[in-house]
């Protein structure tokens, strides 16, 4: 049996509540917990690729301006991505802890703080994080948070794109945010995510296959009539009805 390709693999999108639970699963005291919480906030809050995020330097983050500069994105292109306002606090807290540890400005923003000779990925203070490490951390945090979905770094990018679409950003804005070369790529990307707002819009249609109660039909007709009348006339009608209603 053929395995599904990565392109056709099912995508698990995280909603804002699940992202908050993922962040809450990080320690608020341990330096690694503060760093990982900040990294999740940045990945979801900006839609950066994990490679772009772990390559950031302090000078690339303008938290006051809600801007993140990717110096060499896909295709070695430079771009500026916007950042969710409520991602700033977690990212700034890590920056403060990083500075207190004496890590210099030339080191990656999301860096290691301690020596670790054991394990498959030995580290030095100020060293870059590995993509494999980020993937392992997200899986562990997802289990701790009770999130029964496939949680991985690129999934946070998917979830960011889905958030923008649901909040009304147009395709050109999403293309610029994600760093896609063309609108066609962004269109395919959004289609691949699967979710859209059609279901929510369907709810606004109301009952079609079930009989409409007479009073509901009358209320609908009255509402349509009032919308066609001038505002002053509507105000006068409301005043007359109010006076005639029993107190």
Instruction: Choose, from 74, 93, 152, 176, the residue flagged as catalytic.
Output: 74
31 contacts 101 by C-beta, under 8 angstroms: yes
Residue 103 in domain: yes
Output the pLDDT for position 71: 93
Q: Is 128 helix (H, G, I), strand (E, B) or coil?
A: strand
Same domain, 139 and 232: no
Instruction: Choose, from 35, 37, 98, 157, the residue flagged as catalytic.
Output: 157
Output the pLDDT for position 125: 78
Catalytic residue status for 180: yes
d(CA 204, CA 12): 27
Say whether pLDDT at 233 is over 90. no
Catalytic residue status for 152: no
Domain range for 167 is: 16-197
Residue 79 in domain: yes
Give the pLDDT confidence of 189-217 residue by residue, as tens digits: 888 776 556 666 666 666 677 666 666 66
Same domain, 37 and 126: yes
Same domain, 29 and 126: yes
Task: Using pLDDT thresholds of 50, 70 and 90, give the confidence band for residue 4.
Answer: very low
Same domain, 186 and 233: no
Output the pLDDT for position 6: 45
Instruction: Choose, from 49, 158, 165, 175, the residue flagged as catalytic.
Output: 49
Q: Quickly list DSSP for 67-111.
A: EEEESS-GGG--EEEE--GGGHHHHHHHHHHHHHTT--TTS-SSB
Give the pLDDT confidence of 59-110 residue by residue, as tens digits: 999 999 999 999 988 878 899 999 999 999 999 999 999 999 999 999 999 9
Residue 204 in domain: no
Give the pLDDT confidence of 136-162 residue by residue, as tens digits: 999 999 999 999 999 999 999 999 998
79 contacts 34 by C-beta, under 8 angstroms: no
Catalytic residue status for 154: yes
Catalytic residue status for 158: no
- For the chain, give the longest Cα–Cα distance: 85
Catalytic residue status for 157: yes
First to last CA, the chain: 75
Residue 207 in domain: no
Same domain, 137 and 239: no
Greater confidence (33 vs 195) lies with 33
């Amino acid at each position: 049996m053929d395995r599904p390709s990565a392109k056709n693999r099912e995508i698990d999108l995280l909603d804002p509540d699940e992202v908050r639970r993922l962040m809450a699963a990080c320690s608020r005291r341990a330096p690694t917990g503060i760093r990982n919480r900040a990294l999740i906030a940045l990945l979801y809050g900006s839609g950066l690729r994990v490679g772009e995020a772990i390559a950031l330097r302090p000078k690339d983050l303008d938290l006051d301006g809600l801007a993140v500069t990717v110096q060499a994105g896909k295709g070695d292109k430079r771009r500026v991505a916007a950042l969710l306002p409520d991602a700033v606090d977690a990212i700034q807290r890590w920056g403060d802890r990083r500075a207190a540890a004496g890590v210099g400005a030339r080191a990656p923003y999301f860096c290691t703080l301690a020596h670790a000779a054991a394990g498959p990925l030995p580290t030095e203070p100020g060293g870059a994080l590995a993509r494999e490490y980020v993937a392992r951390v997200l899986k562990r945090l997802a289990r701790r948070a009770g999130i029964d979905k496939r949680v991985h770094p690129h999934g946070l990018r998917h979830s960011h794109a889905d958030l923008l679409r649901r909040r009304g950003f147009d395709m050109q804005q999403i293309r610029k945010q994600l760093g896609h070369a063309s609108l066609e790529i962004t269109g395919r990307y959004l289609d691949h995510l699967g979710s859209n707002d059609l279901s929510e819009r369907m709810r606004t249609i109301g009952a079609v296959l079930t009989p409409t109660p007479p009073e509901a039909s009358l209320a609908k007709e009255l509402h349509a009539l009032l919308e066609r009348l001038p505002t002053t006339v509507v105000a006068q009608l409301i005043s007359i009805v109010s006076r005639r209603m029993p107190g």
